[in-house]
């Protein structure tokens, strides 16, 4: 089933070219099915890239997914045009009387700042508090995961000696938990971050369950008891060339950036990176939509509440 977005979203044409079914608002309004309503709080500077990455992940399911993109009102984006934001984005204050089946809070390149130093931290706190009563399950990504663990559970973060950058192996735990159903014992996923939530604090918190981690880069996937809050430290939604673009961008700026680990064949940045994480990424997002968003959301139909 399709992704439903606003008609002129630039990512729509790219997805259709990849043979992904994307439905416009007018057509979706005539469908006699219950769609999932997903809000995406997009904090990334290159918002159009993130839109495309996440819509790909949400498309691998038989469910119809209606997507609402949310931008931060208290922060002016420097890398996305105001016309794009005005046309395709709402703010939390536009939708706070609505209820969503799921929500995604993305990462942001502000991890070296303390949470309270971020200019839009109060608005992020407002969104996360609102999610407790208006969203069935919230998926937090990278900085969004660190922020969510800090806000909801008081888990601190720390700065790493060097940037975690590349594609790393992770071990799966608690394989009967539906979020990791269908996973192999180990799976690969991309990372790009300078900080980490403190794994010891996560493990000692009785409300949290670690589902995957890495000997090299620490905790990867964490959830609370009912799956209403899920935290993912990496970027399995990244496409093949995302780390390549970041690496070459930083090199061009003269920054001290290490080559991404386990990414280029023979560590040769002139060779096409190997895609080695897409299968588990698709499984993860499909499991989230199916088991924690769709099946967990009460639905009122003909006066009867079903699940």
Q: Which residues are designated catalytic?
A: 142, 235, 237
Alpha helices in the chain (DSSP H): 10-17, 25-28, 47-58, 82-88, 92-95, 121-134, 143-153, 199-204, 242-252, 278-287
Q: Give me the helix-helix angle, 10-17 and 47-58, nearest 10°.
A: 40
Listed in sequence order, the residues at least 6 apart from 238 whose beta carbon sits closer than 8 Å to its beta carbon are 53, 190, 277
Contacts of 209 (CB under 8 A, 6+ apart): 174, 177, 222, 223, 224, 225
Collapsed DSSP state (helix, strand, coil) of residue 267: helix
Contacts of 2 (CB under 8 A, 6+ apart): 21, 22, 23, 28, 59, 64, 65
Query: What span, in angstroms and rounded, lies between the C-alpha atoms of 139 and 136?
Result: 10
């Amino acid at each position: 089933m399709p992704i439903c977005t606003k008609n002129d979203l630039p990512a729509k044409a790219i997805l259709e070219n990849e043979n992904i079914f994307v439905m416009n608002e007018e057509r979706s309004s005539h469908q006699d099915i219950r769609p999932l309503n997903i809000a995406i709080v997009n904090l990334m500077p290159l918002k159009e890239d993130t839109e495309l990455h996440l819509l790909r992940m949400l498309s691998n399911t038989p469910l119809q997914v209606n997507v609402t993109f949310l931008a931060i009102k208290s922060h002016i984006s420097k890398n996305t045009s105001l016309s794009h934001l005005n046309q395709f984005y709402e703010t939390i204050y536009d939708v706070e009387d609505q209820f969503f089946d799921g929500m995604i809070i993305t990462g942001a390149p502000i991890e070296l700042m303390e949470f309270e130093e971020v200019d839009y931290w109060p608005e992020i706190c407002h969104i996360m508090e609102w999610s407790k009563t208006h969203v069935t399950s919230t998926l937090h990504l990278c900085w969004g995961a660190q922020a969510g663990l800090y806000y909801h559970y008081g888990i601190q973060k720390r700065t790493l000696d060097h940037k975690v950058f590349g594609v790393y192996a992770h071990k799966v735990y608690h394989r009967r938990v539906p979020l990791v159903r269908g996973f192999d014992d180990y799976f690969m996923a991309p990372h790009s971050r300078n900080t980490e939530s403190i794994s010891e604090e996560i493990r000692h918190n009785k409300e949290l369950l670690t589902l995957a981690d890495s000997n090299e880069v620490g905790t990867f996937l964490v959830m609370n008891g009912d799956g209403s809050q899920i935290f993912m430290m990496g970027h399995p939604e990244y496409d093949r060339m995302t780390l390549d673009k970041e690496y070459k961008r930083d090199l061009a700026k003269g920054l001290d950036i290490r080559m991404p680990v386990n990414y280029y064949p023979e560590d040769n940045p002139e060779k096409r990176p190997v895609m080695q994480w897409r299968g588990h990424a698709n499984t993860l997002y499909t499991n989230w939509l199916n088991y924690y968003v769709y099946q967990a959301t009460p639905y009122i139909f003909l006066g009867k509440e079903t699940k």
